[in-house]
Amino acid sequence: MRAGKFVTFAAIGALLVACGPPQVQQTQPVEDQRTGTLRVWLFDEADRGPKEKVVDEAVNRFEAERADVEVDVRYIAVETRAERFTGAFNDPASAPDVAELGNTDLAGYVAAGGLADLTEHLPRWDEAADLSPSALDTARVDGKVHGLPFYTGVRALYYRTDVFEELGLQPPRTLAELVDTAQRIQRERPDLYGIAAGGEYHYALMPFIWAAGGELARERDGQWVSALDTPQARAGVETFTSLISGGACPKEQCADMTGSQSVQAFAAGKAAMTIGGDFNRSAVESGPVGDDYAVVPLPGSAPGSTAPAFAGGNLLGVLKSSQKATLAREFAQLLAGKEYQRKLYEAMGNLPTFVDVQREVAAADPASEPFVETLRSGTRFVPDTPAWSQIDAQDVLPTMVQRIVNGVPVEQATGQAAERMNDAFEGR
């Protein structure tokens, strides 16, 4: 195995994403070499060590089981991914055989013709039968599988146990109770945000829309159409924005707050609640809040229900240009398989994508239970179209929220956001 290398480039990825998927000319290679160097790209981490240790173990095993095969792992910065993948799709000589990618980037990469279709190979992978259906859905574009779920991530409701005990509060059972609880905390503890849920935190907004029965968009006759202007979606948007406009998270501080800043505010002891991921636990525990917090699934509209969470996570894809397609699939199946997903959870806290492994994790680590329960309750995803990258880059949802909290009627702001989404869906 060659030592993994960290590759630095100018951080222009967001600009490339905003311009839509790269247009490339690529044909399927006729060769399927079973020896030589297999090139792998994985995302770098703030602390690469734990991930690298698990990956190295998988690489050593893969190489030991195959003669004349060497795996070259390189770690690339997430913020340079658009530039790197654009280059790889246009120049197969520089491309990896296997690559880690974010699930929201998948549709754009498929539209660019850069990733192999793995659909027919999935049934031949024994472990695939235990994949979570919602995780596998994030690997599909137009019904075809273009990646193997590597890990998943969902968000739930973090709350300060010491503040709730002081005020005699219980965790909210519905989103309406969540709003009331957050506003009460802010009144009785004006030194705290009732909840840190910023105007630019669209992954916190989405569950409110879905819990109200709304959708981000619907597909009609092969064309995506925004659904933000439906009564159900508007109801969810109104509930979420009331957290800011109602003062639980004052608009002066919260209108422009991002998801990371929302979690940071909670971890710093400035908020009584936030919506955070399983991947935020260590940041919270290392801050002033320490162990004075608990997590429950974000409630839905009815008592006992859970709001559908956005299904975050990463995939392992095989590039269409690979001349080692079989080796690439075999390595992806190994690293994304149950054994190494367990080890990556133990090393990094990444939630596994297999239903049985999720059960094992929840039984062994009670702190993961609220997130696993959220996964079991059902997750949702963004439309599987490359237009979503444009919608995301243009901040359509955050702009809508910010306009509402600054006084624009919900009907007007959602209608205008829907128009902008439809422009992107129609390529205007």
* pLDDT digits 0-9 by tens, 260-317: 999 999 999 999 999 999 888 888 988 899 999 999 999 999 999 999 999 999 999 9
305 — alpha (psi -120 to 50), left (phi > 0) or beta? beta
Q: Which ranges in 290-386 belong to alpha helices (H)?
A: 325-335, 338-348, 355-364, 369-377
pLDDT of 225 > 50? The answer is yes
Q: What's residue 46's pLDDT?
A: 80
What pLDDT was estimated at residue 389? 87
What does the pLDDT look like over 241-254, one tens digit per residue? 999 999 999 999 99
Mean pLDDT across 182-209: 97
- Determine the pLDDT at residue 11: 32
**Identity of the amino acid at 46:** A
Residue 12 has pLDDT above 50, yes or no: no
Element (H, E) at 18: helix 13-18
- Across the range 159-170, mean pLDDT stands at 98
Mean pLDDT of 405-409: 97
Assess whether the region 2-153+311-380 and the region 155-310+394-425 belong to the same CATH fold: yes
| Structure-token pair, residue 234 | 């508007």
- 2-153+311-380 classified as CATH 3.40.50.2000: no
List alpha helices for 32-79, DSSP H.
49-64
CB 43 within 8 A of CB 314: yes
Q: Apex CA 149: angle with CA 237 and CA 274, to 5°?
A: 35
Structure tokens at 7: 């590759």
The Cα–Cα gap between 74 and 187 comes to 51
Give the architecture-level CATH label for domain 155-310+394-425: 3-Layer(aba) Sandwich (3.40)
Q: How far apart are CA 280 and CA 285, in angstroms?
A: 9
Give dist(CA 242, CA 256) in Å, integer.
Answer: 15
Q: Give the pLDDT mean for 226-237.
A: 98
Q: Residue 7's pLDDT is what? A: 38
pLDDT at 26 over 70: no
What would the two tokens of residue 160 be? 């300060």
**227 within 8 A of 233, measured Cβ to Cβ:** yes
Distance CA 268, CA 291 (A): 13
Residue 21 predicted with pLDDT over 90: no
Q: Which residues, including other chains, have CB under 8 Å from residue 293's CB and lie 6 or more apart?
A: 158, 159, 160, 161, 266, 284
Mean predicted confidence (pLDDT) in 6-21: 37
- 304: tokens are 């006992």
Summarised one tens digit per residue, pLDDT across range 370-381 is 999 999 999 999
pLDDT of residue 30: 59
Cβ burial, residue 142 (10 Å; 0-12/13-18/19+): exposed
Indicate if the pLDDT at residue 5 is higher than 70.
Answer: no
Look at residue 27 in the predicted model and tell me its pLDDT.
Answer: 53
Q: What is the pLDDT of residue 20?
A: 46
> Tens of pLDDT along 354-374?
999 999 999 999 999 999 999
The confidence score (pLDDT) of residue 28 equals: 54
The structural domains of the chain, with segments of one domain joined by +, span: 2-153+311-380, 155-310+394-425
The answer on pLDDT for 110 being more than 80 is yes
Give this prediction's pTM: 0.85
CA distance 274 to 377: 20
pLDDT above 90 coverage of the chain, percent: 87
Which stretches of 50-93 are assigned E, i.e. beta strand? 69-76
